[in-house]
Structure 1
Amino acid sequence: MPLIIKYLKKTWQGLCLSLVACGLIATPLRAEPLKAKPWKPPVPPQARFAPDFEQDPAAWIQHLIQSDFYYPLQTACKPFYLPPQGTRKGTVLLFHGYSACPQQFWELAPQLAARGFAVYVPVLPGHGRRSRQEAEKWIDEPSDLPTEASWRRYEEYAAQIAQVMPKEGLRAVMGLSLGGAVAASALIQAPEQFDRGILGAPLLDINPPSNYFLPPLSALIPEYPAKWDDSCEVERAGGRGGYCQFRLRALRGMQRLGQETLVRLNEVKIPIQIVGVEKDGTASNTAQKEAAERLPQNQICLFEKGANHSLLSRFDSPFEDKFWITPLNTMTLNFIEKGNYFETDGPAAELGLMRCKAR
C-alpha cells in the first residue's frame, strides 16, 4: 500500500492540472501580452459591503456577518449589494465560481442595477479567505472549503441565501461554474423564490477521466495539495481574488454537489438559460446537455472555442481579447429583464448543441 500511495502522489499533480478549477482559467495566458493593458472592471462605486440592519433581509445580514466577521476575506471576495437605480424592477442573485470570488460580477452587477434590479452577490461558504505571504509567495487558506463529507453545506447555503429574494418584481438567479450548481440547488430547494435562472458553464460534473479518478483518490489521499500553474499567481498579482491552492477533498466536495444537483433538475419548472463554452477544460458539457434534457423549460448554447470557462471575468486570463463578454452581458440582461433566450448562430462544434452568438 505505501508504494501505491507514493505512486499516486507522484502522478496526481499532472491529473490535478487537468481538472482546471471551476471559476479559474481554462487555457494558459498568452505568451506575448497585448500592446494595451487589458481593461479590468473596478469595484462598483455604489456597492455596499456592510449590513443595513434596518432594511436588509435577515438572511443577507446573517451572511455578511458570518462571512466577513468570523473569517476575514480577501478584498475581491467580499460579498456586496447594489441598490437598483430608478424604479425597482426586481432582484438578481449572483453566485461566483469555485476558485474565484464575487469580483467576477463587478462588471455585470452595475449593468443590472442600472436596469432597475437590486443585486446580491454573496461569497460561497469557505471561499475567499484571506491569504498570507511567506518568502514572497502567497499561501492560501482553503481548509474550510466543503468536502466529500460536508458538501451539503453548499445546499444549505443555497437555501439560506435564496431567502434574500423579495416577493415583488422579477426575481432571477445566475451562477458561474460551481456557482451554477449552487444556483441550480437554490432553484430546486426554493422554487417559489425565482422566476428565471441562468446557469453559466455550470459545474455539474468534471470532464473524464478525472471525474472517475477523483472520488477514490480523494478518499485515499484527501489532504493531498493541488495547485494551478504559475499563470494563477500572475493573475493574483494582477488583482484577481480567489484561490490558487486547495486539497483533493475540496475538489470532490465540488463534484459531489454538481452530481447530486444534476439528477434533481427535472424539479425546476421555470425558464432556464444554460450557457457554456466549446471544449470546456473544466466543466463537463455532457453533463450540461443532460441538464438541458432534464429541465422542462430551457435553452442551452455554447460559445465558440476560445471563450473562457470563467465567462464573465476579465481578471481570469487577462490577455485574451474576451470577444464574447459584451454579447454575453447583453443577452444576460435581456434574458433577466425580458425573458428572451440567448441568440444562437448555427450548430456548436460538439454534442449537437447550438452555438451562442458572439460576433
Structure 2
Amino acid sequence: MFVRECVLRCNAKIAFVLLLASTLLACKDVEQSSELLNSFEPEFVAQWQKVVEASEPPAEYSLQAACTPQVIEANPQLAVKGTIIMVHGFTACNQQFFDWGLQLAAAGYHVVLPALPGHGLVGEQQDLLLESSGLANSAQVYSDFADQLVLLGQLSPGPSKIIAGLSVGGAVAAAVAIRGEQTFDKALLMAPFLAIPMTYSPEEGPQLEPLSPQEELDLLDLLNSETDNSEQLEQLWQQFAQLLEQFRTGVAQSLLALLKLSIFIPQLDYNWGPDCEDERMAGRAGICNFKISNLFAVDSFGRETLEAYQQADSLELQIQLVAVENDNGADPLAIQILAERLNSLVGEQASGYCLYDGTIVPHSFISKYDNIVLADEGAVDVHSSALANMEALWLSRFYSEAMEFIDSDTPNLFANEQGFCIQQAL
C-alpha cells in the first residue's frame, strides 16, 4: 500500500512536470541602430553579427519584429559608462527589456539585446502553431550562445561591462559571468532558471537506462489509465517505483530523469495556456507553445551552469541575484544553492541575494507585456496601466536598486530597508 501511495504521488509529480503551471513567459518600438553601429569598433560589430546569426531563423520562418536582436546606443550627450548585455527568458523575446533598456541608455550605457536562438519565430503564413520549431533540443545550443556573448563582452566598449538576464536568460547570464569573469565587472541574475520548478535535488546514485519501446507504451497506458484495482496496473506501479528508487535522491528529480530518458514524452507538445495567448493578443512578443524536449534542454543547461559554480574555486566579479519567493517559473532550491555558492565564492561584499514577495511579484517581474493581468479593468492602454501598477508596487524600487548596483564603484547590493526585495541571510 505504501508503494501504491508513493507512486500515486509520483503520478501527480509527472502531471506537474508536464503541465508546469508557470509564468516563465514572460512596446514601444526601440529604434534599431545595429545596422550601422557607428559608435562601436569594427571588431565588436563583427562579433555582434555572429550573435545575430546565431538567432537567425530557417528560411521558412521570420523573426517577430519585437524579437529582433537590437543595440540601443548610449545617450550621446553623456560620456559612455559601459555596455550592458541583457538576455531574455524562455519563449519570450528581448521586448522584455525595451522599457528598462531605454532608461539605461539614457543614463549612458550601450544596451545590447540579443535574441535567444530559435525564439520569436513565425511562419510565412503567420502560423503560430509551428513557431516552436526553432527552439533548441540540446543544452549545447545555449552553452554555445553563452560563449558568443563572452566574446561580445570582450569587444564591448567600457569602462564597465555588465551581463544581465531573466529566467533562462538569467541562466545564460550566469554562464557568461563565470566563463567571462575576467571580462565582465558585474552580473545581474534575475530569477535564473536553473532547473524545472520543484525538481532540483543533488544527483546521486547510478544512471538510469532509457525506457524500452514497450515500457514507453506501458507508461503511457499507465498515465492514461483510470483503473485503480488492476493487478497488472499494481505491478506496473511497483516496477516503476523500484526503478526510480534505484536512481536519484528525490521523487521529482527521479521522475524528471525518467521522463527525459523516455522516447515518447519529450516529443509531446505543450502550450502555456490562455493567459499566454491573452498576453500575446495584447502585444507580447514571443511564443506560447513548445515541445517538452525544449524544456528539458533549458533544464539541462541550467543544471550544468549551477554545477559550474559548485565546481569553481573563485570568482572575480560582483554578482547580484534577485528572485521571487516560491517561484513557479524557476526552481527556488536551485537558486538558493547558487546564492550560497556565490556568497562563498566572492563574499558578502561582492555578492547580493534578495527575494521579492511571491504573492505580489510574478516570475517575469520587469515586463509590462508579461503582466497585463495587473492592468486596471477597462484600461484603454493595458500596457501603460500594467506598468503603472507594477511601478507602484515594486518596479520603480527595482529600477532604483538595479541602477545603484550597475552604476556604483562600491554598490550597496540591493539595500532592503525599504521596498519589496528582502535580503536573505545565508
TM range (shorter): 0.7 to 0.9
Name the residue aligned to 2:330. Answer: 283
1:316 equivalent among 366, 370, 374: 370
Q: 2: CA distance between counterparts of 1:10 and 1:275?
A: 30
Aligned to 1:299: 352
* Match among 244, 261, 275 for residue 219 of structure 1: 261
| Structure 1 match to 2:62 | 72
Q: What is the alpha-carbon distance in structure 2 between the residues aligned to residue 51 and residue 217 of structure 1?
A: 47
Tell me by how many angstroms 1:184 deviates: 0.8
Gaps of 5+ in 2: 1-9, 200-251, 375-388
Which residue is equivalent to 1:93?
85
Report the Cα offset of residue 47 of structure 1: 3.5
CA–CA separation in structure 1 for the residues paired with 2:424 and 2:106: 33
- Counterpart amino acid of residue 94 in structure 1: M
Say which SS state the counterpart of residue 170 (structure 2) adopts. helix
- Residue 180 of structure 1 is matched in structure 2 by 170
Higher helix share: 2
- Whole-angstrom distance in 2 between the partners of 1:278 and 1:132: 41
Give the aligned residue type for 1:50: E
Query: What is the correspondence of 1:17-166 to structure 2 with a 5 Å cutoff?
Result: 17-18=19-20, 20=22, 22-24=24-26, 41-44=27-30, 46-50=31-35, 52=37, 55=42, 56-68=44-56, 70=58, 72-85=62-75, 86-131=78-123, 138-147=128-137, 150-165=138-153, 166=156
Compare 292-301 and 317-326 and name the one that shifted more. 317-326
Count the aligned residue pairs.
325
**Counterpart for residue 35 of structure 1:** none
Structure-2 residue corresponding to 1:343: 415
Structure 1 unaligned runs (5+)?
1-7, 25-40, 355-359
Distance in 1 (CA, whole Å) between partners of 2:29 and 2:400 is 20
Separation (CA, whole Å) in 2 of partners of 1:244 and 1:138 = 9
Q: What corresponds to 1:195 in structure 2?
A: 185
* Cα distance in 1 between the residues matched to 2:363 and 2:101: 19
Give the structure 2 partner of residue 32 of structure 1.
none
Contact 1:21–1:99 (Cα < 8 Å) also in 2: no
Task: Please report the RMSD computed on the Cα atoms of aligned residues, expressed in angstroms.
Answer: 2.9
Which of 267, 278, 284 pairs up with 1:240? 284
TM-score relative to the length of structure 2: 0.70
Change (3 A) 1:211 1:245: farther
Q: CA deviation at 1:188?
A: 1.8
1:9 to 1:293, Cα distance in 2 relative to 1, 3 A: closer
The Cα shift of 1:287 comes to 1.1
**326 and 133 in structure 1: CA distance in 2 versus 1, 3 angstrom threshold:** farther
Match of 1:252 in 2: 296
Deviations 1:175-221 (A, max 9, x none): 00000100011112222220010100001112225554333223322
- Distance in 2 between residues matched to 1:183 and 1:23, nearest whole Å: 17
1:240 shift after superposition: 0.5
CA contact (8 A) 1:80 1:121 kept: yes
CA drift at 1:312:
0.9
- State the Cα deviation string for residues 55-75 of structure 1 (Å, max 9, x = none): 443210122245347552111
Greater Rg by CA: 2
Cα 1:13–1:141 change in 2 (3 A) is: farther
Q: Structure 1 residues 10 and 75 mapped into 2: Cα distance closer, same or farther (>3 Å)?
A: farther
**In structure 1, what residue type is equivalent to 2:326?**
K
Counterparts of 2:141 and 2:353, CA distance in 1: 28
2:177 counterpart letter in structure 1? L
SS of 2:63 mapped into structure 1: coil
* Counterpart pick for 2:396 among 317, 326, 334: 326
Q: C-alpha displacement at 1:43, in angstroms? A: 1.9
- Quick check: 2:57–2:118 contact (8 Å CA) kept in 1? no
Structure 1 stretch displaced more, 57-66 or 72-81 = 57-66
Kindly, what percent of the aligned residue pairs are identical?
Answer: 31
User: Partners in 1 of 2:20 and 2:99 — Cα distance?
Assistant: 29
Secondary structure of the 2:62 match is coil
8 Å Cα contact 2:122/2:128 also seen in 1? no
- 8 Å Cα contact 1:13-1:226 kept in structure 2: no
Q: Say which is worse superposed, 58-67 or 90-99, in terms of deviation.
A: 58-67
